[in-house]
Every structure is written in C-alpha cells, then in structure tokens.
Amino acid sequence: MCGIAGQLRRGGEAAEEEVVAAMCAAQAHRGPDSRGLHVAGPVGLGIQRLRVIDLETGDQPVYNEDGSVAVVLNGEIYNYAELRRDLQRAGHRFSTKGDSEVIAHLYEQHGTECVRLLQGMFAFALWDQRRQLLMIARDRVGKKPLFYSHHSGGFSFASELQALLRDPRVPREVDPAAIDSYLALGYVPAPETAFRGIRKLLPAHVLVIRRGEPRIERYWRLDYATKRGFDSEADLHEEIRTTIRAAVRRRLVADVPVGAFLSGGIDSSAVVAAMAEQSPTPVKTFSIGFAEEAFDELPRARLVAERFSTDHHELVVEPNAVELLPKMVRHYGEPFGDHSALPSFYLAELAAGQVTVALNGDGGDESFAGYQRYSSNLLAARFEKLPSSLRNSLAAAAARREPPRTGGNRLDRVLRFASRLGGDRESRYLAQVSVFDRAGRAALYSPEMARAVAGHEAEAALLEPWRETSGSDLLDQLLEVDSSVYLPGDLLAKIDVATMAHSLEARSPLLDQELMELAAAIPAAQKARGGQRKIALRGALRGWVPDEILDGPKQGFELPVASWLRGELAPFAREVLLDPGAAERGWLRPAAIEGLLDEHRLGANDHGKRIWSLLTLELWARQVSDPALEPHATAA
C-alpha cells in the first residue's frame, strides 16, 4: 500500500517539486518506508511507499525501458506475475521484480486500455512524456481512493484529501451540497467531496488528460442481467469454494507478515478458513469486542480461531475510545459518520503491531445478499399486490404510532416495516439506508443552510445508480446499488483509512473480480428468498466453516453507540454539539440538535447514529473546514 500524489501544471509551467513533496509528507503514514518523486516539465508524481512485495528493488516511481513512461501505484496488482510473463515474451525488459512496473509496460502495449487487464486493488497515475498524457485510474470496486481537482494552476491529485489540500492552488471552500449528502447517507458519496472544487474519481473509471483536454471513462461494471445455470447446487457450491480459495491465494503473496481480521461472522470466517488451508504456519487473527454482550462477537471469533488453530489476538473497546475521535476525523479528511470506524481503527492498530498485511471479509454481504434490508425489501414487494390505497392506509396507521423505543422489539420492527409499505421500492430502500431523511435534514438546517442546499437532491446518489442497474430482479438491483455506492463510499473508505493510518495493508478476497462476477451471475433466488439470506454462500461453506457461525444471527461490526451516548459519552456529545462555535458556523439549528439529544437521553427514541453523525461533522468542521460556510453559497 502507498499514498500517491501529483500535479500537471497548466500552460507548460514547471511542476513544483516542493509542493508534490509536501503532498507526500501529508500522507507519509500510508507509506513510511520510502518516498519517490518524478518531476519533469509540467508534471510531478510522488509516492510514499509501504514495502510489501519486492522489498529491495520495488521503490517507485517506476518506468518503461527508456524512461518516457512513469508510474506511481497505490495498491497491489494480483495478476502481475502472469502479465509480466506475457510482456517479457513480447520483448519488454523489467528492472524490478514487483507489480507496479507491469503497468508501465502494459501501457506501452495497450495504451489507456491497459487498465482492463489489471486485477487487484489500485489507484495509479501514469505520465507519458512523448504524448504529453496523464492518466489516473481507480480499481473496479473502489478499494483504493483517489481525489483530484481542476483549478487555476492546472490539475492535482492525491490518495487523501489532506494531502491534496497541501497544494495551495486547490480550493478549500466547503460544499454545502456535500454536507447535505453526508447527513442523508452518513458519508459523502463519490464523485462529491466535502470541498466544492475537489472530486473523487469513481470506481472502475479512468481520467485522462492529453494536452490539457480531460476525459473520464468507465471501464468495467458488474452484469446482473446475464445469469448462469448450474447443473446442481453441489456444482454451484464447489465453484464458490474454488473461487474463494483462488482469491485468498492471490492475496497471500507478500514479502512481509500476513494476518486476518476475524469478526466471527460468515465472511471473515470463510477467509480465515481458506488462509488456514494454504498457510504453512498458524494464521495470525485479530478481533475487537465490547463489554456490551449484544455487540460482542469475541466468543464467535474465538470459536473460529480454535477451529483453525490460529494465533489469535483480541481487544475490548471501552467508551473512553472517544479520545481517538479527533485523530480519526483528521484521517478521513471529510465527514464520515459510520461509527464502526472507531473499532476499525483499534483493530488496525492491534494488527499493525504484528503484521503488515491483513485480509478481511469485506464484500460478502453485497455480493451474496447478507443484509436484513434485502429480506425486508423482498417481503415488502409481495405486498405490492394489494391495492395502493390499502397499503397507504397501513403505512399511515403505523406511522402514527409513537416512535420505536431503543432496542427495537418485534412490535417496533413490524411498525417500521408497515410504515414503509405505502412507498415505492426506491423510497423503501432510501428509508433503510438514510441517516436523516429529507424532513429530518430540513428540521436541522438554519435558514442560511436551507438556502445553500436548495435544489440539491442528496438521494440522487442512490436513485440514479438504481435506474441504471443491469438486473431486473429487485434483489439484484439492491445488490448492484449497494456494490456501486454504499460499498466504496462507506465500507471500503472506512477500512482503507483505518488501516493506512497505521501503515497496514488491507486485502479483501471476497471483493475479487472473479468472485464478484460469479455472484452477480447467480440467480437471485439462490442468494436470498423469504427470510433466508446468503443461501448460496452458506451452502458452499457448510462443512468448512463451523455450523454455529453459518446458522447464527448476523451481527455487523457495530459500536454500542446508543448506550454510550446515554452514558459515558453523553456529556461529551452535548458539549461539542451545543458549543457556541457550532452555532456561529451557521449550518444547523441548536434547538433541533438539543431536541435530538434530549429525546435520546430520555429513551423516547434511538438517535444514536444521528447524534454520532452530527458529532463527527462538528469535529471535522473544527479541524478541517473552518472558516464557516459562506451564507450566500448555493448548491452546485
């Protein structure tokens, strides 16, 4: 893993080596082992390298034979050995033994189409001196981040926002539309960022600038429309197991110690099972737990660790973990409201003391249908046979009942489900994944903020991909939207920042290209139906992963945020959110925030996730975004 940065100056002006070096320094935690710079004419490329493969000769930038093509890479190319052999047969000569140099020679053979041949997690930049062409690219799923800005001085890019902002020409104006998106989803969805003049490159996209003219193209997407038939369930299960084993095998290639994050869930257990088969020594596994039994997965993680005889390590996170929040907020660089980011930071710190690479189970839910919302949406779709007037009446009656109490008993869950029956499929999905809905955000905003975001549709970040889905089945539509928006915007950003903050490389076998394409091709009914989820994956893992894991309830990597914000963290949250400085910023109404805090404290409603999202927003604003949002700003 690494951090990359660079600039392309406008009008042939010389690139600024000191600026590129400063951008690298701001993300030195991503790659503390070496720094490399290529500054020639209008272009400057920089890299902070974490040495994982080819420790002796693999420092970057890397070049083609005559030095006319320069590359910096963040990530790993898993099929580099096969590509290297093919390129050598075609006459290319290599000066390193690692994966990054493959990109330079592959570009010579295939031009910008070279990205289609790469399998892995990557964000890279390539400069072609002869053609005066800059190319930046991001991997298919969005495992590695890439931020960029077109500005008065030209074009700049970096792996992290904080690094990009070291270029003084990059604008720092906060984008109120992005704050609106954040409060809707709990993260800022690509291509937006929290800053008006900065964008994220979307997953599976390349951006090419030749002689000052930029173009962006998508090079890959999952196909949910084309389904495969399998001779038997046994054949399907065998293919899933074989593909998982191959995905894990590719991600075990390293010249440094490798371990695994083990949550005790199905996905990470499958990864550890495949690692144990292929590792000559006990796999090092790392788990995080909580004192609150309802959130603690340590017993299940120990069960898996014992089954596969791993070298297991644990840490229990306490409420005083709030001390980590300011540091965590700085690393994300923009508002990020997923509270599981906090235990992810602790997990990364725990693992980084013993390994340099950690495999995880990310992606299993989005490929094989693991979330509860998939089942509830499939069930709700069955009610569409009822007259709309009846569904609307049921929804209205449920909505009139008092808000659900903390803990969500069965009646609460039934009422929540019934309250959504009157809407369409898209609105039901939005209700499940939103932090603040439109009405909730409107109640929060000051008059100035309301004017600033007028006309902005935060929900479009989900609705537009929904309308472009390739599959016709509701489940496949849900999976495709989650894979293209929620997965890279929330889960992958969370783990990338948490691990890179500790100079740790995270690899995700279940996000392997071949495995994801296989999962997309499986008929929807074989992934989820009725109340059953992950049907195909559970069947494939039966007899390989302990039954207690396969048959136990899903327990996400959740923080006991609701109880913490009624207990030890309540004074801290109130102090931060009702601070006079927050009111002076002019974004949110203090009375609305105080109402949320009071309702939560009294148990009238569970606003834990909302309060946490507001808390991280305010801490971010203090550290990153001040001065305050201009009242006259308008949403772009």
Active site residues: 2
CA angle 51, 43, 136 (to 5 degrees): 60
Using only C-alpha atoms, the chain has a radius of gyration, in whole angstroms, of 24
363 three-class SS? coil
595-604: long-range contacts at Cβ-Cβ below 8 A with a sequence spacing of 24 or more?
597/570, 597/573, 600/562, 600/565, 600/566, 601/566, 601/570, 603/405, 603/406, 603/566, 604/403
| AA letter at 209 | I
Q: Residue 428: name the closest of 363, 488, 374, 486 by CA.
A: 374
CA–CA gap between residue 392 and residue 537 (Å, rounded): 36
Q: What is the 3-state secondary structure (H, E, C) of 273-342?
A: HHHHHHCCCCCEEEEEEECCHHHCCHHHHHHHHHHCCCEEEEEEECHHHHHHHHHHHHHHCCCCCCCCHH
Count of CB atoms within 10 A of residue 172's CB? 14
Which tokens go with 166?
Answer: 């070291």
How far apart are alpha carbons 102 and 600 in whole angstroms?
54
C-beta separation of 314 from 274 below 8 A: no
3-class SS at 461? helix
For the chain, the residue count is 636
Is 339 exposed, middle or buried, given 0-12, 13-18 or 19+ CB atoms closer than 10 A? Answer: buried
Contact 76, 33 (CB under 8 A): no
Rounded to whole angstroms, the Cα distance separating 146 from 74 reads: 9
| 14 Cβ contact partners less than 8 Å away, ≥ 6 residues apart | 41, 42
Spatial separation of the C-alpha atoms in residues 427 and 263, rounded to whole Å: 32
> Residue 366: which of 260, 520, 220 has the closest Cα?
520
Structural tokens at position 439: 């009405």
Give the three-state DSSP class for 379: helix
Distance (Å, whole) CA 459 – CA 457: 5
- Which among 218, 115, 165, 194 is positioned nearest to 7, based on CA atoms? 165
- Asked if residue 107 lies in contact with residue 114, where contact means CB atoms within 8 angstroms, the answer is yes
Q: Is there a contact between 540 and 230 (Cβ–Cβ < 8 Å)?
A: no
In angstroms, the CA 603 to CA 138 distance is 44
List residues bridging with 200 in a β-sheet: 147
| DSSP per residue, 383-446 | GGGS-HHHHHHHHHHHHHSPPPPTT--HHHHHHHHHHTTTS-HHHHHHHHH-SS-HHHHHHHB-
